[in-house]
Amino acid sequence: MYYYMYILQSKKDLWTYVGYTRNLRQRLQEHNNGKVIATRDRRPLGLIYSENCSTKKEAQKREKYWKSGAGRRNLRRMFDGFPPRFWKRGEARSN
């Protein structure tokens, strides 16, 4: 069974939320039904991005990345119409 890392966006104020779960459909429903304290006041929420992960540890790692400064910058770039850039460990950055 897969885990899913997901990013939700509030349709109310464009705020984003990052999390992971085993059942993406059920978790999205919980967010929109007000059962998640962190997103209760930001409903309705829409799924804007998700990744399949083979393990819980991988899902947690991806969640941590998307919550980081680099992940947030990539998310912003995706919304601006540019593809995200995923840096590899030890790779030199040109910018």
- Is position 90 within any domain? no
What's the CATH number where 28 sits?
A: 3.40.1440.10
Neighbour-count burial of 10, counting CB atoms closer than 10 A to its CB (0-12 exposed, 13-18 middle, 19+ buried): middle
- Is position 93 within any domain? no
**What is the residue-level pLDDT of the chain in tens, covering all 95 positions?**
899 999 999 999 889 999 999 999 999 999 999 999 999 999 999 999 999 999 999 999 999 999 999 999 888 888 776 656 555 555 555 54
> Running DSSP on this structure, what letter comes out for residue 34?
T
**Structural domain of residue 26, as residue ranges?**
3-79
What pLDDT sits at residue 2? 92
Strand pairing class (45-53; 3-10): antiparallel
**How many domains, the chain?**
1
- Which residue is it, tokens 């978790």? 27
pTM for the full model? 0.82
CB crowding 46-85: b at 16 or more within 10 Å, else e: eeeebbebeeeebbeebbebbeeeebeebbeeeeeeeeee
Look at residue 47 and give its three-state secondary structure: strand
